[in-house]
Amino acid sequence: MKTKQSILLPLVLFSFSLLSAQQKVLQTDFNKGTWEQVGKGLQRKWVSGSESTFAFWKMDKGAHVPPHQHPNEQVTYITKGSVKVLMNNKEYIVKSGGVLIIPANITHEFFCLEDGTEDLDFFTPVRKDWTDGTASYFKQLGNPLEVVAQFDEMRPGNVAVSNNGRVFATIHPLASPKLQLVEIVNGKPVPFPSKELQKNGGPADNNKFDTPLGVTVDKENRLWMIDMGLELGKTRLWCFDLKKNKVVEKIELPADIAPKGSFVQDVAIDEKNGWAYLADISNPGIIALNLKTKKARRFSGHEALQSEDVDMIIDGKVIDFDGKPSRVGINPITLSYDKETIFFGAMNGTTWYQVPAKLFRENSDDQTIGNAIQKFGDKPVSDGVATDQHGNHYITNLGEHSISKLAANGQLSEVIKDGKLKWPDNVAVSEDGYLYISVNQLDSTTAFSGDQDKGKSPYFIYRIKL
């Protein structure tokens, strides 16, 4: 589309040479961002600097932005199609090439008159109601969030729920916590299974937890936790008997499968056939571990395991990781309810993949496994996923403060959208039909921001009724 290329790209490739040294230069390409579904027939992409906000909208005929006002002056430029704007009891028709300036604190509403309408909006000052998630003129979706646990001094990592409703969480290692694994008791985190196994700020110890993250409960009501060993240099899979509240197994992955520097952060358990499947984002790959023989193999190098060239944009900011725009590969990994299909996708990715688990159990070669990988459906830029017994995938949507649902038929929709979901890290589905969500503002940590940790406690585990 010539109009988009000639007008949009120069506007979104920001390079402000006159910014003060304290201000961060922002450069992004909207072609690398994902669309946020704001309302029916209404999608947007947006970024904010220190003084202004810029947005790109796509609209279908009949899309409607309800009456609202804001303390920002707004410049609206329609590059394609047309809209009707009601403001000050007057009607304004703005067609392709038209510009409308909307003064601050004036109530206005939009109606899209043509399919494929495109709108560029410039706001000054910054749209604070967008950046803090308090914009109220679009109805929040889904059942209300219930607080399961509040964390005042540490961030929850991943969450897991037992068959009888016990809730467990790892504490995210990017925040250098003293505790690593907790159970939620009366809304508060309690060391699990004991204080003695927690690192407690000390040096790495082979007999204690190091830097765990991925956690899940299998059908036999055992808790499994993958410990990345970022300080110890060893990746270990822990298993806990929830009847006895004790460690029953600790499996160390071989150094050639998970060498020092690996970031093995997610795990899915097949208790039926005795296998574990783990995702490594450092050297993007799937590790398949035979829980009986303790032998493991790695599958890597395939395009589906890599990050796509997609920006992670949260609250109008392009999110970095280790000093450059985030490009994180395979992160969430899950299994179908019958344990016969592995599902996975990249954090910076828009595709959810599937591959038969049987190929790993039979030790098929990499080419055979790679040829069997298929796209299951679309996904948002995400961190965690849970798959239920009906084949639905619940995917954290980082950029939209929401949880998406990729149904068994491949249809993508939103389960809940709420400004409180500031980096929904991970989800878990309980036997009684609740979705548990850990929320930890991870984009404010040093690893992502490149600055001092600017997270604002408390952090939460929520749940919603599905």
pLDDT averaged over 10-residue windows placed end to end, the chain, 466 residues:
34 32 60 82 90 94 92 96 94 96 94 96 93 70 88 94 97 88 96 95 91 96 96 96 97 95 95 98 96 97 96 89 90 96 97 98 97 97 96 95 94 90 96 96 88 90 96
**What pLDDT, on the 0 to 100 scale, is given for residue 131?**
81
**What pLDDT, on the 0 to 100 scale, is given for residue 177?**
85
Cis peptide before 458 (omega within 30 of 0): yes
Tokens matching residue 69: 């006002």
Classify residue 4 by burial, with Cβ atoms within 10 Å: 0-12, 13-18, 19+. Answer: middle
Give the Cβ contact number of residue 111 at 10 Å.
Answer: 17
CA distance 30 to 38: 17
**What pLDDT, on the 0 to 100 scale, is given for residue 124?**
95
CA distance 64 to 44: 13
Cis peptide before 125 (omega within 30 of 0): yes
* φ, ψ of residue 7 in degrees (nearest 5): -105, -45
pTM above 0.75, yes or no: yes
CB 270 within 8 A of CB 277: yes
2-131 and 146-465 share one CATH topology?
no
Q: Where are the domains of the chain?
A: 2-131, 146-465
Tokens matching residue 58: 């796509």
Across 391-425, b (16+ Cβ under 10 Å) vs e yields bbbbbbbbbbbbbbbbeeeeebeebbbbbebbbbb
**What pLDDT, on the 0 to 100 scale, is given for residue 118?**
96
| Domain 146-465 classification at class level | mainly beta
CATH architecture of 2-131: Sandwich (2.60)
CA distance 89 to 77: 21
